[in-house]
Amino acid sequence: TDRQGNEIGISHGRFVPLLESSDRDLRRKVFQSYYRSFDQYKNTVAAIFAANLKKELFYTKARHYASSMEAHLSQNNIPTAVYDQLIEAVHDALPEMYRYVRLRRKMLGVKELHMYDVYTPLVSGEHANISFDEAMAIVSRGLAPLGESYIRLLNEGMHGGWIDRYENKGKRSGAYSCGAYIHPYVLLNYHNDLDSEFTLAHEMGHAMHSYLSNTHQKPLYAGYRIFVAEVASTCNEALLMQYLLKNTTDSKERAVLINHFLEQFKGTLYRQTMFAEFELEINERAAKGESLTASALCGIYRKLNEDYFGPDMEIDDNIALEWARIPHFYYDYYVYQYATGFSAAIALSDKILNEGEPAVRRYLNFLCSGC
C-alpha cells in the first residue's frame, strides 16, 4: 500500500517502475513483497536452473569443448579471453562504481543506501516534455558528426514510414527494430520524455545498421550477431548524450542528462558484467560437480553484489534472490555482450567526435559489413 492507503499490484513488469518512485517506504515494501514471492519457490527455481546448467554441461562434453563458455562463444568466433578481460577491466574500474554509490547516497539524502534505492532518479521534479517531431529533430542534430549521407538516410527513415510511434491497445511493450529488406521497421511506445528520445536514437541505430548491411551485403552475409548489434544503437545514444550536454545551458537539465548517463554505465556496464561473472562462476561450479542449491546460488549472488556495489551499499538479504528473476541466465553467456557493446560504443563515439572523418569512415564501413 502507498501513502494514501491504496493497494498496488506488483508484477514482473511493474517491479522496476515502482522502484523508481520517490516514496521510499513504498519502494521498500515493493522490494520486500516481490522477493518474498520468489523466496516461496526458490528451491523449485534453483532445481530448474541447475538442470539447465547440467544440460549445457552435457552438450559441452559431448562436443569436446574445454568449457561451456568456450562452447557458446565459439558460435560467434569470440575468444574466451574477451569474457575474462571484460570482468578484469570492470574490476579495475570498481572504484568508480563505489564513487557513484556514494554520490547516490548523498543526493538521496539517506544515512544508509539500500538495494531498493538504486532505481529512483537522483534528480527529482518535472522533466522536459519532448514531442516526437522535436525528438526527431534533436536526434538528427545530435548524430550530425556521422556525416551528411548518414543523416539524410536517417531522416528519410524517421519521416518516411519506418516507425510505428505510439502506444496502442494490444501493442507489445518496449521498443524494437526489425531489419526487413524493403526497409527496417521500428516499433516504439513513445511517451514524450527523455528516455523515449534516447530510445528513438537507439532503435534508429539498429535500423541504420540493418539498412546499410542489407544494402552492401548479399543476404547470406547481411545479418549481424548480437555481439555487434548493440554497438550501433548505443553509439547513437552516446553521440546524442554528448550533443545534449554540450548544448544545454540549464543546470537542472544538465543534471538530468548526467543522471541518465550514469544510469547507463551502472545498468549496462557494471550490472551486466556482474551477471556475466555470476554466470561464469555457476557454470564452473557445475563443471566441478558441485551442488547448486538455492542457498548456494544466493550465497554466490550476494557476494557479487557486495563486490560490485562496495562498502557504502547496504546489501539487503532479499537481493540474494535476484538471480531467480533474471531470464537472461537461461540464454547462456549472452549478457556479457551488453557490456562489451556498450564499451565499444563509448570508445567509437569518442573517436568519431575527436578524430572526425577518418573515424566516421571506419565506423560507417563497420555498419555496412553485416556479419
3-state secondary structure of 224: coil
Q: In this structure, are strands 176-178 and 113-114 parallel, antiparallel, or unpaired?
A: unpaired
C-alpha cell at 124: 527529482
Q: Is 203 a catalytic residue?
A: yes
Q: Which of 56, 197, 203, 322 is catalytic?
A: 203
- CA dihedral 129→131→134→140, nearest 10 degrees, is 110
Q: Which of 258, 263, 340 is nearest to 79 (CA)?
A: 340
Enclosing H/E stretch for 314: strand 313-314
What is d(CA 255, CA 121) in angstroms, rounded to the nearest whole number?
A: 11
Of the chain, the end-to-end C-alpha distance in Å amounts to 50
Q: Which amino acid is at 312?
A: D
Cα dist. 191→167, 198, 201, 283 in Å?
8, 11, 14, 40
CA neighbours closer than 13 Å in the CB half-sphere of residue 191: 11
What is d(CA 334, CA 140) in angstroms, rounded to the nearest whole number?
A: 31
Q: 53-86: buried (b, 16+ CB within 10 Å) or exposed (e) per residue? A: beebbeebeeeeeebbbbbbbeeeebebeebeeb
- CA dihedral 299→59→226→269, nearest 10 degrees, is 20
3-state secondary structure of 23: coil
SS3 per-residue string spanning 316-342: CHHHHHHHHHCHHHHCCCCCHHHHHHH
The sheet with strand 163-164 has its strands ordered as 163-164, 185-187, 176-178
Handedness of CA 122, 126, 131, 135 (dihedral sign): negative
Catalytic residue ranges? 203
